[in-house]
Chains A and B, each alone.
Chain A
Amino acid sequence: MTQNSEVVRREMRAFIEENFLYLQPDLKLSDEQDLLAHGVVDSLGFVELVEEVQGRFGITVEDVEVTEENFGSIDAIVAFVHRKRAG
């Protein structure tokens, strides 16, 4: 991953901690952990996550791209943003 990817990783982790993990302060979230399965984000949180990625990184997310494969974990988001920027 590039340095840019590390920025994406750091910023998304900070965003998730600030906005979702206040409800689970004891959870040690790893980058590969499933955000839905661990209840870190609910369905509205998922929408918020998608919008944050769009706004923060200046990319357009198509409806068909709103999937767990792309947004289900911090790793998934980093990879998705990387692909979109490369694409």
Chain B
Amino acid sequence: MCGLAGIVRPAAEGVPVSEDALMRMARSLRHRGPDGFGLLLDEGAGLVSSRLAIFDLHRGWQPLVSPANDSAFVYNGEVYNHPELRAELTAAGEQFATTSDTEVVHRMLEREGLDALDRFNGQFAFAWWQPRHRRITLVRDRFGVRPLHFAHLPDGSLAFGSEAKALFASGEISAQADLDGIDDVFTLWGARPPRTAFAGVRQVPAGGVVIWEQGQIVAERRWWKPRYGEDPIAQEEDLEALLRDSVRLRLRADVPVGTYLSGGLDSSLLTALAQEETEGELRTFSVAFRDRRYDERAQQEQVAAAIGTRHVVVEVGASDIAGAFPEAVDHAETPLIRTAPAPLLLLARAVREHGITVVATGEGADELFLGYDLFKEVELRTLARSDPRRAEALLDEVYSYLGSAARRGPAFRRFVLETGADDVLLGSHLTRVQATATVKSLYDPGVREAAGERSLERLRAELPAGFSGWKQLDKASFLEVSTLLETYLLAAQGDRVAMASGVEGRYPFLDHRVFAHAAGLPAGMKLDGLEDKRPLRSLAARVLPESIASRPKQPYRAPEVAPFFEAGAPAWVEESLAPESLAATGIWDAGRVEGLIRRCRAGRAEGVREGMALVGVLSTQLWHRAFIGSAARTYPKETTEPRVRIDRTLKLSTRKAR
């Protein structure tokens, strides 16, 4: 796991790529790879890597150069089946200088081109430089676990990097806000790739490939797309065997691997399977909240005891969240609508302090096996057409954790059962969109007019061909995977806050074989009435105590208003919300925000919508101050800088045709 970056020019002659610029890019990503920097300079091109050593700790340096000296490669991630691929290649006569997966991936690409991607089981982002064609190929894994950003510059050059901050560190592009990207955040929780919150900075989408040649982007396509629909072959696969194999592969590392344990079904199942595959004691980690309304400590400790792991609880209070929030925004590089990334940033820091750099975690299970309440709402909206009373009763059951249904009155039922009922494309997600939209009510009127409904219009326009004919729950799952999972859960709440401390998250439920199996099952086998994730529960019943296997979903949430309005809240909160600060950012209507602040100060803003609105405003202010409204950051050489390997002016061969 690493950070990668680079710059390529349209021609070998002309403006060279600056070594200083490349080193600034590497330093900006040092949190992703604290173990070493590697730099390669070619004519009109340069690649850098900041490395977190997981495989072949002593030799796995990057950038890698092919044996024929005709291509170079920087890579962030893991291809878990690399030993099997290496064996195939060795049998075919290939020789390797390292035992790292990086070399296997590079060699596969050299031999098979992008067809090799289908063979990779893992999570990765890479840049593959082929100077003979002056071509760079940027690729991202199927679900977008690992990030990859790029900017096509006015002179045709391409700058790229794991994170946007590497692009800004290059000095070749400055940070500007992209209103459409920001509005995506306040509609769908994250900017939908290729868009980002920055103008001119794009992301390679999940399962995407971007090819640049001689100054032009010549291809942008998906090498993998999530496919849904009942598939008899996929159904025949044995979920237990698939998941066990996925876990086994994701425990491969030359360093110890731990797991995150939320206390819910998915992480418990994953941890139980991981323990069975682990020789000795498995390390598990969880966040606990001082505020008992959010705390799942008892469940977490019960699971750890039942499985027999060595468990560490990281207790987080309101002041911890407020303290870590600016750092979480800085790593996420986007406005946020939840504080939830901040506790996970603190958790990853603790994991690192305990000497663990790789953790397996349960993301993806709810999306694939229909665990979220949102999927149940889809079913209840259908039921409400024929039996509204029954639908209301079941709805009250789904949301029993919110307190007395009767006290919530008619508004809640009407909101859930009617919102989106007539929208055949996005109906499943309009309750979330509407709940999130409170933050948009705080927009400056000009911003509100400019943003309009364009975020949803773009989403509608980019749905797969034939989407309207898909089954309801397949549509909902697809939307969840391609909006919330990709743009938020795996990014701001996943890679970014873990890699802030150089901790790599691994996702066994996002093995593409597990996905194909889940997507090929009839929806009724996954969600029947209110009984969700049925195949996982069935498997869990065989490996976990019954009380854990049947545990209902509890959404992971963190306190949202209290951290910023309790006594002793950091001074930046008040500064950020001052009318002149709001005016400088240019997104918010100061008068409306003042109304929200009054409610927060009075302790009245206890609802989800106002919590999201406050976090939206605060994070936008922090994000703007960190990236847009201040001078570009400098990344001087550090006294504690890790070892740097530099291949100066390698002059990669452009003659040898392959």
- A16-52 interface code vs B (CB 8 A; 1 in, 0 out): 0011011111000000000010000111111110100
A44 near B608: Cβ-Cβ < 8 Å: yes
B408 near A46: Cβ-Cβ < 8 Å: yes
B612 shortest CB reach to chain A, Å: 12
Report how far A66 CA is from B406 CA in the complex, Å.
Answer: 7
Of the candidates B406, B407, B415, B596, which one forms a contact with A22 in the assembled complex, judged by CB atoms under 8 Å apart? B596
A47 near B596: Cβ-Cβ < 8 Å: no
Whether A67 is near chain B, meaning CB under 8 Å from some CB there, is: yes
Whether B53 is near chain A, meaning CB under 8 Å from some CB there, is: no
Of the candidates A18, A23, A41, which one forms a contact with B598 in the assembled complex, judged by CB atoms under 8 Å apart? A18
A43 near B411: Cβ-Cβ < 8 Å: yes
Main secondary structure of the interface of A (DSSP, over half): helix
A23 near B411: Cβ-Cβ < 8 Å: no
Report how far A68 CA is from B594 CA in the complex, Å.
Answer: 29
B598 near A43: Cβ-Cβ < 8 Å: no
| Size category, A interface | 20 to 34
Report how far A68 CA is from B414 CA in the complex, Å.
Answer: 11
Find the A residue at minimum CB distance from B413.
A43
Residues of B within 8 A of A66 (CB): 406-410
A42 near B591: Cβ-Cβ < 8 Å: no
- The 5 listed contacts between A and B (C-beta, < 8 Å) are A22-B592, A42-B411, A42-B415, A43-B409, A47-B407
B392 shortest CB reach to chain A, Å: 13
Find the A residue at minimum CB distance from B438.
A23
Find the B residue at minimum CB distance from A68.
B410
Residues of B within 8 A of A19 (CB): 599, 604
Find the B residue at minimum CB distance from A43.
B412
Q: Which of B560-597 contact A (CB under 8 A)?
A: 591-592, 594-596
A42 shortest CB reach to chain B, Å: 6
Residues of A within 8 A of B594 (CB): 22
Whether B244 is near chain A, meaning CB under 8 Å from some CB there, is: no
Of the candidates A21, A44, A48, A67, which one forms a contact with B410 in the assembled complex, judged by CB atoms under 8 Å apart? A67
Report which residue of B406, B595, B604, B608 has the largest number of chain A beta carbons within 10 angstroms of its beta carbon.
Answer: B595
A25 near B592: Cβ-Cβ < 8 Å: yes
Whether B404 is near chain A, meaning CB under 8 Å from some CB there, is: yes
Whether B609 is near chain A, meaning CB under 8 Å from some CB there, is: yes
Whether B442 is near chain A, meaning CB under 8 Å from some CB there, is: yes
Q: A24-B441, A46-B410 are in contact. List 8 more A-B contacts (CB 8 A).
A: A19-B604, A22-B591, A22-B595, A22-B599, A23-B592, A42-B411, A47-B408, A67-B409
